[in-house]
Amino acid sequence: MALETIVLGGGCFWCLEAVFQRLSGVERVVSGYAGGQTENPTYQAICSGATGHAEVVRVHYNPEQCSLAEVLDLFWRCHDPTTLNRQGADVGTQYRSIILYQGLEQKQAAETSMEGARNGFSQPIVTEISPLTRFYEAEPYHQDYYNDNKQAGYCRVVIQPKLDKLGMT
């Protein structure tokens, strides 16, 4: 069975990468940039907020082991989709909540999952659902960041507690 992919953003891509790497049926997670207008963006350009891109992950999953609905369910649980352009202390449009779909089936699944997630939040969901036009892979040092840097401050203070809360440690 061929792997399927979906591109998701919900704050720092290091967090999303660490979370989705631990979901059974996910084969690969790639950190990157998408949703903006600048071609071939760099991390420094993304941080300026001028590119329009968000920090995202491309989740490669085996649909025989993990459904798109399961991937999207974890997406809603692993970040706060009610905060506009921020997750915790990470602030800016590059940290926005976004689902970048490929095709009508993914668009409908994203919209359905968002509708189902609404009851779990006291504030309105502000997640953007848009077509994926281009995914740019982030620089190599961003890939597999948590697994390679578990003792780094951000990993210990932000990512590890998130994994603990989700029962993924």
Structure token digits, residue 114: 């968002």
Distance separating alpha carbons of residues 45 and 62, to the nearest angstrom: 33
Report pLDDT for 41: 96
Report pLDDT for 169: 80
Q: 3-state DSSP call for residue 55?
A: strand
> 68-77 and 13-21 are packed helices; what angle lies between their axes, rounded to 10 degrees?
130
Query: pLDDT of the chain along its 169 residues, tens only?
Result: 799 999 999 999 999 999 999 999 999 999 999 999 999 999 999 999 999 999 999 999 999 999 999 999 999 999 999 999 999 889 999 999 999 999 999 999 999 999 999 999 999 999 999 999 999 999 999 999 999 999 999 999 999 999 999 999 8
Distance separating alpha carbons of residues 82 and 97, to the nearest angstrom: 8
Q: How far lies 57's CA from each of 11, 17, 123, in Å?
A: 10, 6, 25
Report pLDDT for 50: 92
Give yes or no for a contact between 39 and 135, defined as CB atoms under 8 angstroms apart: no
Report pLDDT for 71: 98
Report which of 150, 163, 144 is spatially closest to residue 78, judged by C-alpha positions. Answer: 163
**Catalytic (active site) residue 66:** no
> What domains can you pick out in the chain, each with its CATH number?
4-165 (3.30.1060.10)
Report pLDDT for 58: 98
Q: 3-state DSSP call for residue 131?
A: strand
Report pLDDT for 133: 96
